[in-house]
Structures are given as structure tokens and as C-alpha cells.
Amino acid sequence: MSNSLLQTPIEYLKGVGPQRGELLRKEIGIHKYEDLVNFFPNRYIDRTRYYKINELNNNVAEVQIIGKIIHIKTVEFGKAKKRLVATFVDDTGEMELVWFQGQKWIRESLKLNIPYVIFGKVTNFNGQYNMAHPEMELFTEHEKSLRSAMQPIYPSTEKLTNKGISNRVVVKIMQQLFIETQARFAETLPNAILEELKLIPKNAALFNIHFPKSPELLAKAQFRLKFEELFFIQLQLITKNLVRKHKIKGHPFTIVGNHFNNFYENHLPFELTNAQKKVLKEIRNDLGSNAQMNRLLQGDVGSGKTIVALMAMLIALDNGFQSCLMAPTEILATQHYNGLTELAKDLNINIKILTGSTKTSERKIIHEELENGSLHILIGTHALLEDKVQFDNLGLAIIDEQHRFGVEQRSKLWKKNDIPPHILVMTATPIPRTLAMSLYGDLDVSVIDELPPGRKPIQTVHRYDSNRLKVWKFIKDEIEKGRQIYIVYPLIQESETMDYKDLMDGYESISRDFPLPKYSISIVHGKMKPADKEAEMKRFSEGKTNIMVATTVIEVGVNVPNASVMIIESAERFGLSQLHQLRGRVGRGAEQSYCILMTSHKLSNDSKIRLETMCKTNDGFEIAEVDLKLRGPGDIMGKQQSGVLNLQIADLVKDKDILILARNKAIDLLKKDPSMSLPEHQTMKTVFLELSKKKNIWNYIS
């Protein structure tokens, strides 16, 4: 059908009008016919079954019954309150229908002794079944209406319901839309794909998603529409990646020279794992091509991403280019700086760090050296993005934990040069494959999935508060062996005072159980000045204190190889990825490490799943998959990325298989026809270009 009809403003649809139109716009974003067609039900009620009154029991939720009203009365209750009660009968018994609102109008419209179909929730009161505010339809009308056996229930808001736009009204206007458009909708997918995957046509899919004739047809419609949505998203991402590779030229780093080879042959502190070698090869290929590298490097805490980053920077240096590494916090930037200077101590290269607290005199030197090219590697926080920071020739930008940086911030790095630098994004937050495919589908993904040799897997156990004495005894034994301990308290912003109190109470009782001079304790929390935090961290990392009591400040990037026990208090208050990040603070050395999750006995179902998952596996990707199931995609990406995928029908967790299928089909199609110029791809291309204009997901993506 012509696309123009679908562009009609929603108020022109019969039964909508200006007032309802305004509500639909504001409340659920329905502006035109097209939005309404793509407004899908979120569940269905099976209306194939008619109950008899004697079949009712307390377990049936919503039922429909055919019968007649034989009597109506008004009952007073409470102070000046009335309810309308009708006696409803079928050939097996009787029940009551009750109305608390709109009684005058309802009383006038009800007809006695004429068959009705009623639908609603039943409750049992004093041995008699009743239904409040039932949906009612004359049996003769019921038989005629465009109704499906599966009744669609649409998402709604309180305001819509209060203003009388009930589910029934939405169904009515949806029926009207299908009458006006004659249910003719243009096909959007190429025939080859429809045939190969046996997908039902677009108009059949839309009809059966709103008015399913059977559960089987509903399933076919859902599959077809989910596939289509994910397919177009993948087309966007993959095209973006291909365009970038063709259009955005990078600096080809053709030389692998002295810096790299000298380090690789003479200064590697340990043999690289196969995973590291594989990733390095992928990076070298990217850097050597003429296109700009855009790679996401995922590796669990402690998997050795830093050394890979350094080696990529050495390749840049061999080709005469500078590199920078940007981290979200000062602690993390400092740690990268210490790690890299240690690794590169014999290489005779110039590495400096720039953060908010860098002194003016040092800044001046950094700016000069950057511009004259004698500074090879600059590590820092957001401070790197300031306009004053000008490179001589930036060739490689590495961004750590990138989901903490906004898109504008990243684009500033691009503008530091005429030709944009190669980009390597690193994260220790394992992103489930499905999310990575959707959020970073335009980045090439590398994964370091094995730990360096000599690392023992961390043992994780769950203990209740009532076992605390045993846990303390265990800590004392570990301290006897010369190990150090973390004890972490949750930080929940809303109630900082309470958190602070929890932490302080905890600190006091720990101080009593681990008294001076035999034991010494460090403490770190959000209310301390940065310099004091640094000092306490330093005391702990130098081994001057045995126990570090902290809020989650320490979750990212503290490296104390001698710390072998991580105790997480009120572990049920943490998310899975946080627990996994915290656990990664131990297990840095060669000794066996432990993570003890302390909780109260009161645990929600989700908390139990989180704790069991932690005890069962150390694999960050497995944990991320469970996390995705528990929390959904929006939460995992953090605040500024939520609403990332406003998917209309597909679900990244449940429809993982459809997503993988859609991605593969999109890749195949673009291999054959990169510009979508074949005649059989024209309708698809039109849809693709329309979608590209929409501000939905694409602007969130790097």
C-alpha cells in the first residue's frame, strides 16, 4: 500500500480525534498511522474459551462467560457510597456483576434477559463469585466483531486509563486502522530471505500480531517481525562499519620496527597467552590496513589487556606516531601509568600522565613535548580532551572502560588530528555477545578469554552473617601467612549517611576484633579527600596495613598482588557485574585467593541467583549473560546508555538466536550487494534509508 497513508496524523483516524490524538502522542509516542501499526501488544489473553459459572474457581484469572442479566439493584455501603449490582445467570448458576463508577450511565444501558458475553477478573466473596467492571458485549455484536481468539493487551499508562483510553479503546482504533488501510502493508524484506527462512508476508504478520487467529499464527508473526527489526539494525551497524573502512582512511602503520621487536624479544615479563597473541594479530592487521581501526577489546579483570595496549602503542611509535590512553578516573589512569612505565622501563621511551591534579609546571612541559613530538605516550583522564592538549601526530587512541565516556567526548579525540587516530576501546566489563552485537556492532570485537599462566582461579563462597566468627578466624589465619584482606561495604547513593554509618560501624567492630598493634587497618570512603584516599591506598599496597575497609571506591583498578581475600558485606545489595569486578581485585598474585560473600538470611530470588552464579563460575561472560537476563539491556549499559535500544518487539535476551540469524543474513546480503543496488533490494533499501533518518539507536553508537 502507499506509504503516504501511513504518514497520516493519528487524530484523523475515525474514533481518535484531536484530544485523544494529543494523549496518544504524549503518553506513548504515537504520532501517525505508522506508529500505531507498530505499537505491539505486550501480552495476549486466550479468549477461545467460554466458562460456565459452575466451572469458576479461585485459580482462574480472567474469564469470559455467556449469560443474561435478570436483576439490577443499587446497594449503599459506607458513608454515602453506592454500588450497582446485577445478577448474572447462565444455565449452571448465578453470580454478581458490580460497578462502583459510572453507575447512572451503565444502569441505563444494560438490557435485561438478553444474552451478553462478559469478560473480566472474578473474585469470590462470601461464597459467591463476582466480577467488578466487566467488559460487556451483546452476544450478537460479539459474533460479528473483528475479534481474535487471542485478545491483545497493549502497553498503557495511568493517564491513558484515567482518560478513558482503555485497552478496549486501543483495540477498537487498531481495528479501524486495519479497515482504513485494508490491511495492506508493503513488504520490506527481499524475497530470497522470506523464502529461505519461510517468513510470513509483512501484512499477514501485522494482522496476526494485533488480531491473532491462533497461537501458531501469533508465533509466526512474532518471529517475522522480530527478525525484521533486528535485521535492519544489523544492516545499519554493518554498513556503518563498511563505510568507515572505505571512507575513513587511517594511517597505515606498515612498519613493525625496533621498539616493538626489542620489547617482544628482550623485555616481555612473561610469555603471552594464545588469546593475547590472537588479539595482537588482529590489531596489527587493522593498523596495517588503510582504514581506521575501530576495535573493542574485551578481557576479564587481570587478563592482560595493558600489555596488549602497550604493544599496539609501540607499533604506532615505530611508525612515527604518538599514542594516548584515556581512563575514566584518576586512580585508574595512575595505575595504567605505573603499569606501563614499569613494562617500558628499559625501552627509552617518554611516557607522561595528565590528570586534573597535574601541577601547572608539569602541564607546561607536557604541552611542549606533545607538540614537538618528543612525548611518545600520554596517559590521562578527561583532561586529555581539553583544547589545550595538542598532539604533534596522534596515531592511536586507547579508551579504557568506554561506557563511562559520552559520544561527544570520544569525538573530541578524533579532532586532535587531520586524519582520525586508530581507536582501541578496552573494557573489563564482559559484554554479552548479543549486546556487543547490537551496541558495538560497528566495532570489530576482540576477546582475551584466558588468564595469564600461574593464576589460580579465585574460590568464591557465600556465608551468612551468623557465620561471622568462622570468617574472622579464617582472615586471621590468612594474615598469619602474610596475606592482606579487603572488606567492602556497599555504597548506595540515596542514603549516603546510612552507608557511612554502616561503614563506620563495620570499621569499629573490625578494629575491636583485629586490635593494634598486632593488626593495622586502612579505610577508604567517598567522603575522604583524594589525597587522603591515595595515601591510604598506598599504605595498603606497600603492605603496611593488613586490612583495607572500603566502600566500592576500590572496584576499578587497584592492583595489590599480595591481597588474597575479598570480603563483600551485604553482598545481596550489589549487582552481578559489580560483584565480579570486586572479586577481580584479588587473585592478582600466585597464591590461592578467596572471595567471601556475606549476606543476611533474607534474600530475594534474584539475589539468590546472583550469589549462586558467583559461587559457580569465574567466567565474566557467563556472569554477564546471567546479569543481562536479570537486569535487561538498558541497565547493563549504565545510565547514559539506557534507552539504547528502544526495540519495539524484539528482546535482546530472549531473542538471542534471532539476533545472530539476523546478523548473519545482513552480512551475507552486504557481501553480495554492498550498496543495496540490486533491483530485488530496492524496497529494502528504501526502508533502510528511512530508518537511518530516525533518531533511535544509531546516535548512541560510537
Residues 526, 534: Cα–Cα separation, whole Å:
12
* Statement to judge: residues 443 and 494 lie in one domain: no
Q: What is the pLDDT of residue 598?
A: 96
* Statement to judge: residues 431 and 484 lie in one domain: no
Q: Closest Cα to residue 379, out of 439, 332, 449?
A: 332
Inter-residue contact 599 to 461 (CB < 8 Å): no
Q: Kindly state the helix (H) or strand (E) to which residue 354 belongs, with its residue range.
A: strand 351-354
Q: Closest Cα to residue 97, out of 127, 139, 129?
A: 129
Print the domain residue range for 70: 48-146
Inter-residue contact 84 to 103 (CB < 8 Å): yes
**CB within 8 A of 571, min separation 6: which ones?**
462, 579, 597, 598, 599, 611
Residues 99, 416: Cα–Cα separation, whole Å:
69
Amino acid of residue 307: I
Inter-residue contact 602 to 632 (CB < 8 Å): no
Residues 597, 576: Cα–Cα separation, whole Å:
12
Q: Kindly state the helix (H) or strand (E) to which residue 574 belongs, with its residue range.
A: none
Inter-residue contact 437 to 652 (CB < 8 Å): no
262: burial class by Cβ within 10 Å (0-12, 13-18, 19+)? middle
Chain-centre distance for alpha carbon 252: 35
**CB within 8 A of 180, min separation 6: which ones?**
5, 13, 14, 33
Inter-residue contact 549 to 507 (CB < 8 Å): yes
- Calculate helix-pair angle for 605-616, 576-583, nearest 10 degrees: 30
Q: What is the pLDDT of residue 498?
A: 66
* Statement to judge: residues 402 and 547 lie in one domain: no
> Final residue of a domain: which of 569, 601, 617?
617
* Statement to judge: residues 275 and 345 lie in one domain: yes
Query: Bridge partners of 396?
Result: 323, 422
- List phi, psi (to 5°) of 687: -60, -45
Chain-centre distance for alpha carbon 119: 38
**Peptide bond between residue 517 and the one before it cis (omega within 30 degrees of 0):** yes
3-state secondary structure of 77: strand
230 domain-assigned: no
234 domain-assigned: no
3-state secondary structure of 74: strand
Q: Closest Cα to residue 622, out of 658, 576, 572?
A: 576
Query: What are 55-75's pLDDT values in tens digits?
Result: 888 766 788 999 999 999 999
Q: Closest Cα to residue 350, out of 366, 332, 328, 339?
A: 366
* Statement to judge: residues 571 and 542 lie in one domain: yes
Q: Closest Cα to residue 112, out of 72, 84, 83, 66?
A: 72
Query: Residues 699, 222, 656, CA angle at the centre, nearest 5°?
Result: 60
Residues 610, 614: Cα–Cα separation, whole Å:
6
Chain-centre distance for alpha carbon 512: 42
479 domain-assigned: yes
167 domain-assigned: no
Ranges of the chain with pLDDT below 50: 1, 555, 636-644, 695-702
563-568 and 547-551: which strand pairing? unpaired
598 domain-assigned: yes
User: What does DSSP assign to residue 453?
Assistant: T
> Final residue of a domain: which of 549, 584, 617?
617
Domain at 487, CATH number: 3.40.50.300
Q: What is the pLDDT of residue 555?
A: 46
639 domain-assigned: no
How many domains does the chain fold into? 3
* Statement to judge: residues 440 and 465 lie in one domain: no
* Statement to judge: residues 489 and 436 lie in one domain: no
Q: Kindly state the helix (H) or strand (E) to which residue 396 belongs, with its residue range.
A: strand 394-400
594-599 and 563-568: which strand pairing? parallel
**CB within 8 A of 150, min separation 6: which ones?**
44, 45, 46, 47, 48, 212, 214, 215, 218
* Statement to judge: residues 439 and 549 lie in one domain: no
* Statement to judge: residues 317 and 383 lie in one domain: yes
DSSP 500-515: HHHHHHHHHHHHHHS-
Q: Which residues of 462-493 are buried (b: 16+ CB within 10 A; e: fewer)?
A: bbeeeeeeebeebbeebbeeebbbbbbbbbee
> Final residue of a domain: which of 448, 478, 513?
448
DSSP 225-258: HHHHHHHHHHHHHHHHHHHHHHHSB--------H
Residues 248, 233: Cα–Cα separation, whole Å:
21
* Statement to judge: residues 465 and 441 lie in one domain: no
Query: What are 513-543's pLDDT values in tens digits?
Result: 999 999 999 998 877 887 888 888 889 989 9
- Calculate helix-pair angle for 682-693, 215-247, nearest 10 degrees: 80
3-state secondary structure 85-123: EEEEEECCEEEEEEECCCHHHHHHHCCCCCCEEEEEEEE
* Statement to judge: residues 336 and 393 lie in one domain: yes
126 domain-assigned: yes
Chain-centre distance for alpha carbon 299: 18
Phi-psi region of 638 (alpha: psi -120 to 50; beta: other; left: phi over 0): left
328: its cell numbers: 575514566
Q: Specify the pTM.
A: 0.65
Domain at 131, CATH number: 2.40.50.140
DSSP 287-349: HHSSBPPEEEEEE-TTS-HHHHHHHHHHHHHHTT-EEEEE-SSHHHHHHHHHHHHHHTTTS--
* Statement to judge: residues 135 and 73 lie in one domain: yes
Q: Closest Cα to residue 557, out of 458, 679, 427, 446?
A: 427
Residues 656, 197: Cα–Cα separation, whole Å:
16
Residues 544, 529: Cα–Cα separation, whole Å:
20
93 domain-assigned: yes
